[in-house]
Amino acid sequence: MKTKSIHPPKINVITLGCSKNIVDSEVLLSQLKGNHLTAAHESSEKADIVIINTCGFIDKAKTESINAILEYAEKKEQGEIEKLFVTGCLSERYKTELQSEIPVVDAWFGTLELPALLKKLGADYKKELLGERELTTAPHYAYLKISEGCDRPCSFCAIPLMRGKHVSRSIDFLTQEAKHLVSRGVKEIILIAQDLTYYGLDLNGKRQLDDLLKSLSDVPGLEWLRLQYAYPSQFPEEILDTIRERENICKYLDMPLQHISDPMLKIMRRGITQRRTIELLDTIRNKVPGIALRTTLIAGHPGETEADFDTLYSFVENQRFHRLGIFTYSHEEKTHAFTLPDDVPEEIKEQRASEIMALQQEISMERNEELHGSTLKVLIDRKEGDFYIGRTAFDSPEVDNEVIVKNTETLLPGTFVQVFIEDSEAFDLFGRVVSNS
Ligand code: SF4
């Protein structure tokens, strides 16, 4: 592609949104490098071409993406960059509107239009690089996207509009990719999807997450395998034995529940009841003793009454999740919930979300205090000042708690150590290394 500059153009890729977008950017970077193009991820160096991989999930995420586009649009108008391309979920969802609203952007691409984006850059989509990625995470952990899209009808969710129907990748393909990642120094693989537990149903009509877990867990050198984005309805309980029996599968499960009151689970079209959800949580804890459960909830969905919220609050109080996040409901066009009145005032949504987070902070504080005096296996992620920062098997990167580690000797990122827990705060543990593990 012709640019004014005489040197080969420098490309800077910016990623917004979730871990699935991170994987897409890593695939893009690998294709750009495979075409001998100079590309970097979120580099502060001057670039000729900027590609923004956007998020279009909810209001706050959309605003963040639009602000990033406008920031680089201004840089283009000031001649700081030559070309600006936008891809990802926001572009998939609002391409037509955005094209007329922000004409300075050179081209817009959807979530499944990588070949077209590469073509625009004078590059070819290289099939031989399938499964290849330029990791943008720390080199010792990586996300593995096991499927694309989602077939679920959740009322509030626009993701199927942006990512399409559920498409699983084959067990062989994913196992090869995992072997490749481990051969490049990855110790921890985090399985992600829109709906992890739906895996395989589109391939041959049966859930295959358990087969996949066994195949990945057999990859030599893989120390930690972690599961994120499980779905509670028709949960494949057979995976619980595998999680319990396999040492390198983290005793950790992220399962967004979104709500718990029966009227809300019905309106949200979650396909599960309060009683069945609580039964499932009991089964998970019984079958995998000591498992850390993470969940995500929504405050202020249309129809949510004070009584519904009280039910949710006591549920969080009783279940004492290890990790919990909460969003305020965002009224998203073309979703089922958009046909309902957005009847919970914004300030009530915010208030309910902060009440739940205040409760969770107390629960997390108590749970962390229970760990004082114990020794935990910690994966060191980075150094900050005089301390090392790491995570236990109960903590996923970016979203969960961290361990602040004192140690006189140098510790390299990607190292596993045994840490004696001396102190804690709501979302952090403090300790010292007692041995390498
Ligand atoms: S499972 Fe529901 S919330 Fe998750 S991506 Fe699919 S439709 Fe959205």
Q: Which is higher by pLDDT, 435 or 276?
A: 276
DSSP characters over 57-87 = SSHHHHHHHHHHHHHHHHHHHTTS-SEEEEE
Mean pLDDT confidence for 164-179: 97
Query: Which residue, judged by its Cα, is nearest atom 5 of ligand 1?
Result: 194
- From residue 295, give the alpha-carbon distance in Å to each of 109, 199, 249: 32, 19, 18
State the distance from the centre of ligand 1 to the C-alpha of 385, rounded, in angstroms: 40
Ligand 1 pocket, CB under 6 A: 150, 152, 154, 157, 159-160, 194-195, 231
The DSSP secondary-structure symbol of 258 reads: B
Kindly tell me if the per-residue pLDDT of 82 is higher than 70: yes
Q: Which of 258, 20, 300, 306 is nearest to 153 (CA)?
A: 258
24 is written with which tokens? 């897409």
State the distance from the centre of ligand 1 to the C-alpha of 164, rounded, in angstroms: 11
Half-sphere exposure of 180 (CA within 13 A, CB side): 15
- Which of ligand 1's atoms lies nearest the C-alpha of 150? 6
pLDDT in the model for residue 407 = 80
pLDDT in the model for residue 3 = 56
State the distance from the centre of ligand 1 to the C-alpha of 150, rounded, in angstroms: 6
pLDDT in the model for residue 32 = 97
State the distance from the centre of ligand 1 to the C-alpha of 368, rounded, in angstroms: 31
376 is written with which tokens? 């935990």
Determine the residue of 159, 228, 229, 269 to mutate for testing ligand 1's pocket, defined as the one with the most ligand atoms within 8 A of the Cβ atom.
Answer: 159
What is the Cα–Cα distance from 389 to 405, expressed in whole angstroms?
Answer: 6
Return the sign of the alpha-carbon dihedral for residues 29, 125, 101, 343.
negative
State the distance from the centre of ligand 1 to the C-alpha of 33, rounded, in angstroms: 33
Backbone torsions φ then ψ of 272, nearest 5 degrees: -155, 155
Kindly tell me if the per-residue pLDDT of 356 is higher than 70: yes
Task: Write the CB contacts of 234 (distance below 8 Å, at least 6 apart in sequence).
Answer: 197, 207, 271
- Which of ligand 1's atoms lies nearest the C-alpha of 194? 5
Determine the residue of 111, 148, 156, 195 to mutate for testing ligand 1's pocket, defined as the one with the most ligand atoms within 8 A of the Cβ atom.
Answer: 195
Window from 2-11, 129-138, 400-409 with minimum mean pLDDT: 2-11
Q: How confident is the model at residue 409 (pLDDT cuts 50, 70, 90)?
A: confident
Q: E strands of 133-270, at which residues?
A: 141-145, 147-148, 167-168, 188-192, 224-227, 249-254
pLDDT in the model for residue 194 = 97
Q: Which is higher by pLDDT, 2 or 319?
A: 319
In this predicted model, what pLDDT tens digit does every residue of 150-163 receive, in sequence order?
999 999 999 999 99
Determine the residue of 194, 198, 201, 269 to mutate for testing ligand 1's pocket, defined as the one with the most ligand atoms within 8 A of the Cβ atom.
Answer: 194
What is the Cα–Cα distance from 82 to 279, expressed in whole angstroms?
Answer: 57
Q: How confident is the model at residue 131 (pLDDT cuts 50, 70, 90)?
A: confident
- Which of ligand 1's atoms lies nearest the C-alpha of 152? 7
At position 350, the amino acid (one-letter code) is E
State the distance from the centre of ligand 1 to the C-alpha of 291, rounded, in angstroms: 24
Query: Which residue, judged by its Cα, is nearest atom 8 of ligand 1?
Result: 157
What is the Cα–Cα distance from 433 to 403, expressed in whole angstroms?
Answer: 11
Q: How confident is the model at residue 319 (pLDDT cuts 50, 70, 90)?
A: very high
State the distance from the centre of ligand 1 to the C-alpha of 399, rounded, in angstroms: 19
358-361 long-range contacts, Cβ below 8 Å, gap at least 24? 359/313, 359/316, 359/317, 360/316, 360/321, 360/324, 360/326, 361/426, 361/427
pLDDT in the model for residue 5 = 59
Residues facing 431 on adjacent strands? 405, 421
State the distance from the centre of ligand 1 to the C-alpha of 437, rounded, in angstroms: 38
- Which of ligand 1's atoms lies nearest the C-alpha of 163? 5
- Which of ligand 1's atoms lies nearest the C-alpha of 160? 7
Kindly report the CA angle at 409 between 407 and 412, in degrees rounded to 5?
Answer: 90
State the distance from the centre of ligand 1 to the C-alpha of 424, rounded, in angstroms: 34
What is the Cα–Cα distance from 132 to 412, expressed in whole angstroms?
Answer: 25
Half-sphere exposure of 426 (CA within 13 A, CB side): 8
